[in-house]
Each structure stands twice: as structure tokens, then as C-alpha cells.
Amino acid sequence: MTVTLANQEHVHTDLDIWSDEVLANPYPHYKQLRDLGPAAYMTKYDMWIITRFDVVKSALADWATFSSAHMGGVALSEDGRAAWSGSVLESDPPEHTNRRKIFDDTLRPRFVRHALGDLKQRSEDVVDALLARGTFDGVQDFAKDLPLNIIMDLVGWPADGREQMLEWAEGAFNALGPEGNQRMIDSFPKLQAGIEYVRTHATEDKMPAQSFGGVMHAAAARGDIPREVVPIALTGILHASLDTTINAMSSLLMLFAQNPGQWDIVRQDKSLVPSAFLEGLRLESPIQFFSRATTRDVDLGEGVVIPADSRVVHSYGAANRDERRYADPDRFDVRRNPTDHLAFDHGTHSCPGRTLATMEAQALFTALAERVETIELVGEPTRELNNSTRGYASMPIRIR
């Protein structure tokens, strides 16, 4: 098939999805992109973007066509792809299968439950302390507590350097952005610093044998995975487990503050906490974008063909609010139970840490529902603009 972009001008767009304006409120722009067609060609970046639920889901399931390894990997800049080289994110089967098995075996539910210890008690302690204060920051004081205090231990992270991990994680996700993007340029040194720290400090002798890091090093020692991929693998699991989990929990807290009637429903029926968490992930997907590259021409219908060797951005955030999939998609409904959401990706590259994130969030919001009658926003929240993730920098909250 011979494809010329001139024949597809009806789906061209000059929208910059990484501009401050779009990142601050992307959802009206996502709808415009969905209405253009099953894919849109972004002229500013010479990339395609897919935003409809069914198209994104199909692409995520078809790793052979929408490849994570082809054309260097998933980052949108040459430097980003070079930095993430060797990670599980930038591989396809069979190489991906071997590396992913370490994640799946180590992060299986039984291992996670054992590693987390008494998560219920830890969550109750967090909520009790915040109730005593009354007013607090929903990001710094609420959403960060469990990930920072649990993930580091689960991974087996050395005590020194923990205080810098959030800064490195924010930088890593910004560094996935496109060439020339200022956030990408400014954050790239943070990504490099985090990778270098892992390479020199998260070594086999410093990580407990039963920790995730210890298991990774043992797999490398057996020859199951190359030793050189261990640092980037540890970097990836730390960043994903911290930044995205914090964004997911703070966003759900904000949704409850904005929708007190929905909080009342959950307080009266705490079995709805899992459904509420899924709905929060659907509405405010912690990771908004990733990319892959096509290995062949892809005919999506409606006169739209993505050529082979094209960079394709898939938007979880846009797909999860597709009116073709969800009725009244911008409404927060704790009873919706959207088990099909794409916030954790789909198919081969589905998030290996989804069990961990889910257990943390469910424990924390269950403790909140057992103790707290009202959640109020008492000041102006601040967004953290990021090339890949969506979340808050601060959120003044009062609970009673």
C-alpha cells in the first residue's frame, strides 16, 4: 500500500498536545481529536495520535504492528530513546517476555501482600494523623505517604538517595516528551541522574535478597536477563510505582472533594471503593501518553491510513473519556466500575505494578471512608504539568 499524507489532510492538526494550555485542560482537545477520525496527524511533530477507545485498545493489543522496539523505542526524542534503551518498555516479544517475567513473578499478588505487611493498619494511621490535623495537603501529606514508605522497601532501595526519587521520577516522565520541548530539555538531566544513581548505588550487595531489586540482581546472576538492563529496569519500576500512584490517589481525592454526593455513596457502601478507584483512573489517567512505532501501513477506516515507520502517540487519557465507549464520560460515577479502562495500558505491556497501586489505593480510601464524613477543597490546587503524566503539585484539603 502506498500512502501519501496529502490524501489525508482531513485528519491533519496543528494542535500541540504538550503545550501548557493543553496539558492544563486536555479533555476538550481530546474530543476534537477523536472527532477528526480514528487517528490524527500532528503536523508540528510529524507524528500520529490515536484517541478513540477502540482504536487505542486494538493498537495496544497488537504489539507486532504498533511496536515498542521499532524505531528505537517509545520515547519521543532520540536522547530519550537512548536513555531508556534496554528497558522492558522498549522491547517486544520474545525479548520482552523474558524481561517481563521477572516483573510478573516478583509483583504477583501473593508477594506484594507479604511485602506490604499490615497495609490496613498503615493506612489507618495515615488517616488518623490527618484527621487530627484537619487541614493538610492532599498530595504531599496524603497521596505520597504510602508510595514513599512502601515502594522503597518493596524494591529494597538503599536509605541514601530516597529523598530524590520523586524529583527523578518527575524528570523521567517529562524526558519522554518530544524533541525541542522545554520540559523535556530541562528534565533530561534528572532522568540521567536517576539512572546513574541506580547504576552505582542500587547494587546487588545493597539490596535485600527478597526485595524486587534483589530478585532482579539474582536473575541477572543466573543469566536470565542481561546484567546491563538491571539499572534501567529498577529505574522504571521505581518511577512508575511512585509518580503514577501518587497522581492516581491525589486525583481521586480531588474528585471526591468536587463531588461530595459521590463520597456519601462510598461512605455508605465501602464495597464501592474498588469501583471508585477504577473510575478515578478512567477520568484522570495518571499517564496520559505513550508512543509506539508502526511496522506496516495500518488502515483504520474512514479514509485514514497510518504509514509504516510512523511514530504513533496513544492517549490513555483521551481513550478513557471516549463517548463512544462510556455514557456521559466526563461524569464521576463511583458505581460505573469501568474494569475495561486503559489507564494501566492493555495487552503485552499492561502495567506490572497495577496490583500494587490498587492495593495501596483501596486500603487508603477504605480507611478514609471508615473515618471521614466530609472532604473539602479549601484553597486553589496547583497542577503539575508533565509531558506524560497528569497530577497535582499541591491540593489544600480539609477533612472532618
Q: Phi/psi at 390 (nearest 5 deg)? A: -130, 125
Instruction: Please indicate, yes or no, if residue 298 is contained in any of the structural domains.
Output: no
Instruction: Please indicate, yes or no, if residue 49 is contained in any of the structural domains.
Output: no
Whether the pLDDT of residue 114 is over 80: the answer is no
3-state SS assignment for residue 376 = strand
Query: To which H or E segment does residue 300 belong?
Result: strand 298-301
Mean pLDDT of 22-29: 98
Whether the pLDDT of residue 116 is over 80: the answer is no
Instruction: Please indicate, yes or no, if residue 89 is contained in any of the structural domains.
Output: yes
Mean pLDDT of 214-221: 86
pLDDT at 60: 96
For residue 101 the three cell numbers come to: 517475567
CA atoms in the 13 A half-sphere facing the CB of 261: 4
Give the pTM.
Answer: 0.93
pLDDT digits (tens, 9 = 90+) for 29-51: 999 999 999 999 999 999 999 99
pLDDT tier, 111 (very low <50, low <70, confident <90, very high otherwise): low
The residues with which 391 forms a beta bridge, in sequence order, are 384
pLDDT at 117: 67
Instruction: Please indicate, yes or no, if residue 303 is contained in any of the structural domains.
Output: no
Instruction: Please indicate, yes or no, if residue 116 is contained in any of the structural domains.
Output: yes
Task: Kindly provide the residue ranges of all beta strands, DSSP E only, lying in 29-126, ordered along the sequence.
Answer: 40-42, 47-50, 66-67
pLDDT tier, 270 (very low <50, low <70, confident <90, very high otherwise): very high
**What is each CA distance from 42 to 17, 136, 161, 230, in whole angstroms?**
9, 41, 39, 35
pLDDT digits (tens, 9 = 90+) for 156-170: 777 777 777 778 888
Show contacts of 25-34: CB within 8 Å, 24+ apart: 26/288, 26/317, 26/318, 26/390, 27/317, 27/318, 27/321, 27/330, 30/315, 30/317, 30/318, 30/321, 31/321, 31/323, 33/315, 33/318, 34/318, 34/322, 34/323, 34/324
pLDDT tier, 172 (very low <50, low <70, confident <90, very high otherwise): confident
For residue 260 the three cell numbers come to: 461530595
pLDDT at 268: 98
The residues with which 293 forms a beta bridge, in sequence order, are 67, 311
Work out the mean pLDDT of the chain and round it to a whole number. 90
Domain count, the chain: 1
Residues contacting 110, CB < 8 A, separation 6+: none
Q: What is d(CA 340, CA 320) in angstroms, rounded to the nearest whole number?
A: 9
3-state SS assignment for residue 42 = strand
Instruction: Please indicate, yes or no, if residue 271 is contained in any of the structural domains.
Output: yes
Higher pLDDT, 398 or 216: 398
**Structural domain of 170:** 68-292+345-399
Higher pLDDT, 243 or 299: 299
Nearest-5° angle of CA 214, CA 217, CA 219?
110
Do the Cβ atoms of 31 and 51 come closer than 8 Å? no
Residues contacting 19, CB < 8 A, separation 6+: none
pLDDT at 292: 96
Instruction: Please indicate, yes or no, if residue 319 is contained in any of the structural domains.
Output: no
Do the Cβ atoms of 33 and 56 come closer than 8 Å? no
What is the CATH number for 264? 1.10.630.10
